[in-house]
Amino acid sequence: MIGRLNHVAIAVKDLNAAIAVYRGALGAEISAPQAEPDHGVTVVFVTLPNTKIEFLEPLGDNSPIAKFLEKNPDGGIHHVCYEVDDIIAARDRLKAEGARVLGNGEPKIGAHGKPVLFLHPKDFLGTLTELEQA
């Protein structure tokens, strides 16, 4: 069921500082910032040959990454995202396996304009896991 690694997301307090590190030290190719008010984050994409890295900066008062950054003030890996061919079928299978789907269990449109779901980190090796419709 699980497909390609779509991205690894790194939460950061300061997007511009993060961009400077990756662009400067690593010579990375980085997109323009994109505000995602529905998700409480501003996002940039680092394009790699085989996948993407996303930097997430809190947006608004109730950002879902605010608490994470309190615990990880230098930033840190926030989640991994895998592609699935059929997100509804994937969700139903995971629920049948006992995995917890976050939120109301319905896919939201993610940063790439495709439906996404998040799975509880306690069910996936302590790692917040996102699924994105391929």
| Residues carrying an active site annotation | 130
Contact flags string 2-21 toward Co ion, x per CB under 5 A: -------x------------
For residue 54, the minimal CB distance to Co ion (Å) is 6
Residue 57 touches Co ion, criterion: CB under 5 A: no
Q: Where are the beta strands (DSSP E) in the chain?
A: 5-11, 29-30, 34-36, 41-47, 52-58, 76-84, 108-109, 115-119, 128-133
Cβ closest to Co ion, residue 27 vs residue 33: 33
Give CA–CA dist 12/63, Å, rounded: 12
The DSSP 8-state label assigned to residue 1 in this structure reads -
Within 73-112, the residues that bind Co ion by CB under 5 A are 81
Cβ closest to Co ion, residue 37 vs residue 98: 37
Which of 58, 130, 131, 133 binds Co ion (CB under 5 A)? It is: 130
Spell out the residues 6+ positions from residue 94 whose beta carbon is closer than 8 angstroms to its own. Answer: 101, 119
For residue 130, the minimal CB distance to Co ion (Å) is 5
Size of the site for Co ion (CB under 5 A): 3
Spell out the residues 6+ positions from residue 105 whose beta carbon is closer than 8 angstroms to its own. Answer: 91, 95, 117
Cβ closest to Co ion, residue 62 vs residue 98: 62
Cα Rg of the chain, angstroms:
15
For Co ion, the binding residues (CB under 5 A) are 9, 81, 130
